[in-house]
Chains A and B, each alone.
Chain A
Amino acid sequence: MKMIIEGIAWKFGDNIDTDQIIPAEYLVTPDPEELARHAFEKIRPEFSKSVKSGDILVAGTNFGCGSSREHAPRALMGAGISCVIARSYARIFFRNSINIGLPLVEADIDADENDAIKVDFENGLVTNLSKNKNWRFPPYNEFLQKLIDNGGLIPYAKERLSAERRG
């Protein structure tokens, strides 16, 4: 994971559910780029055309609520989203994102659409460069940090499997 991410904000509200992130009718492929073509189609039809690699989502509470579809973080990664910053996350979305390597920050920040945002993971600091304001966010717990450092759940599980085989 990159320790510093900079990108332009897309602003969303509270309770953005997985049906809004990627509508169920498109769950006929697990391909991130194909899914990205329909991301936020029902609520922000311009998103898939205008999103640029490295952009950041800024949202309110309970981001990613609803279904367990891993297609939601996959669609965001396919669209080039580098990081999500939200006040809180629904638990399955949180797990899925960490497991497949989409960085999430839990913070309540003040940002408008198109503001330039910088996230410094090492120091737990989000900066809104356009507004010249900072917020601190807590580090991941030790286990999650280990997962992230390993590159996600698959490399972690591989390592555990070979350790368990060695006994």
Chain B
Amino acid sequence: MGRTFAEKIFDKRSGGKVASGDVVEAAVDYVMVNDVTGPPAFEAFEMLGAEPLRNKIILIPDHYVPNKDVASAIQAKRMRDFAMKWKIKNYFEIGEGGVCHQLMMELGYVAPGRLIVGADSHTCTYGALGAFSTGIGSTEAATVFARGKLWFRVPKTDEFIFTGRLKKNVFGKDLILRIIGDIGVDGALYKSMEVKGSTISNLELSDRMTIANMAIEAGAKNLFIAPDKKTDSYLKGIVKGKYRAILPDENAQYDRRYEYDAANIPPLVAAPYLPSNVKPASEIDVKIDQAYLGSCTNGRVEDLRAAARIMKGRRVANGVRMIVVPASKKIFEQAMKEGLLKIFMDADAYVSGPTCGACLGGYMGVLAPGEVAVSSTNRNFVGRMGHKESKVYLANPAVVAASAVKGRIVDPSEVVK
């Protein structure tokens, strides 16, 4: 009987033949923590009385850096101190870094066939490059610092097949919102998702990253997209070490199979208060106060290009503010080189350096009572970006840009053809 990607990687990493539901200990390639999840992990690690496996540990401050207040400054300092104390070289200060998941991929820690854990729920993003990656907690991250392995329950797998050409202004964001809208926020609970088909093969890596990023919003453990030539060319010159892809068998046994014609999917929006509350952008027509473009979901240069194409020669509507946050230094530089930042600034959008900041209602764009945001981020829970009576609509970068120009949520075709 054929085996899924999840079964094959856990076979390999646990040294046996696994079945879904088994609990196994598996060897991990890298473990990442950020400035919020790091401090509890450091506390737990010190209780273990062990030496850290230095080369496996990646420390990336991104949630509340530059420090938003004294308490967050203390947290960020704890991370810096931990890196110094234990001589961990994979620590990335602001100015060289950015949003943790983007950095993990740009710096070549992620590669096909690797098993990576991170104390951040959007660690599932790396499945876009053919890795098995999943979010974990701080205490378990600490045990990986010391042991290089962790317990996993081998998941069942659902497959999602997309065929057909994407419509104009439709992106990876819309495909993953379509899935979450259909199966719900616990539709893939504890499961592995494999997303495939000709539409996916034709997608660029940035769109695949957006898809994998939001697997957690369906409750999934991970999401896998088969690596191909595009993956290899993305990794060329950046990947650390060698890698070998693991692919599911053609006759693998899936728990459920979903099929989509991508040509029928319009630009979508997830309305408050769940990412599964999905409707076509053209049906929303809600007035906005803020448009946010950034995050590990949609803060890449391709996302900035899609938005800039719409913003060029236009202005952010009166009464609306737009915030643009490239997800890493590299993206910021590329956007500068291509003149994208100039387009945003000419449109009177606010451009900042990389941070998670407003995506989780931390700072740098928090919403007041009653305010409404359209956002390229990943969650629209109650109070996610600020006051409990504020609202977040999730959308792709083109919808965010077009809505910023119009002052209400629109399908980008209202602004550009």
Q: Is the CB of A28 within 8 A of B383?
A: no
> Which residue of the partner chain, among B142, B219, B362, B382, contacts A62 with CB atoms under 8 Å?
B219
Q: Is the CB of B40 within 8 A of A70?
A: yes
For A95, what are the chain B residues with a Cβ–Cβ distance below 8 Å?
A: 136-137, 140
User: Which B residues from 19 to 58 make CB contacts under 8 A with A?
Assistant: 23, 36-37, 39-40, 43-44, 47-50
For B37, what are the chain A residues with a Cβ–Cβ distance below 8 Å?
A: 68-70
Flag the segment in B4-12, B68-76, B104-112, B319-327 that touches A.
Answer: B68-76
A141 at interface by CB-CB < 8 Å: yes
The interface on chain B, measured as residues whose beta carbon lies within 8 A of the other chain's beta carbons, has a size of 52
User: Which A residues from 73 to 103 make CB contacts under 8 A with B?
Assistant: 74, 88, 90-92, 95-96, 99-100
> Which residue of the partner chain, among B74, B135, B362, contacts A92 with CB atoms under 8 Å?
B135
CA distance A157 to B379 in the complex (A): 33
For A71, what are the chain B residues with a Cβ–Cβ distance below 8 Å?
A: 36, 40
Most buried by B among A25, A147, A158, A161: A25
B361 at interface by CB-CB < 8 Å: yes
Q: Is the CB of A68 within 8 A of B121?
A: yes
Q: Is the CB of A161 within 8 A of B146?
A: yes
For B36, what are the chain A residues with a Cβ–Cβ distance below 8 Å?
A: 27, 69, 71
CA distance A66 to B219 in the complex (A): 8
Please, which residue of chain A has its CB at the minimum distance from the CB of B117? A68
B208 at interface by CB-CB < 8 Å: no
Q: Is the CB of A154 within 8 A of B219?
A: no
A150 at interface by CB-CB < 8 Å: no
Flag the segment in A15-23, A47-55, A119-127, A128-136 that touches B.
Answer: A15-23
For B50, what are the chain A residues with a Cβ–Cβ distance below 8 Å?
A: 161
Q: Is the CB of A160 within 8 A of B147?
A: yes
Q: Is the CB of A161 within 8 A of B274?
A: no
Please, which residue of chain A has its CB at the minimum distance from the CB of B220? A91
Q: Is the CB of B48 within 8 A of A157?
A: yes
Q: Is the CB of B137 within 8 A of A68?
A: yes
Q: Is the CB of B121 within 8 A of A66?
A: yes
> Which residue of the partner chain, among A43, A61, A90, contacts B382 with CB atoms under 8 Å?
A43
CA distance A158 to B50 in the complex (A): 9
Q: Is the CB of B189 within 8 A of A66?
A: no
For B71, what are the chain A residues with a Cβ–Cβ distance below 8 Å?
A: 28-29
**Additional pairs, 8, CB under 8 Å, beyond known A29-B71, A66-B121:** A19-B383, A24-B361, A24-B384, A27-B36, A99-B139, A143-B151, A154-B139, A157-B142
**Please, could you name 15 A-B residue pairs with CB atoms under 8 Å apart, sorted by A?**
A23-B361, A24-B361, A28-B74, A30-B40, A30-B138, A66-B379, A68-B37, A68-B135, A71-B36, A71-B40, A91-B219, A99-B139, A99-B140, A157-B48, A161-B146
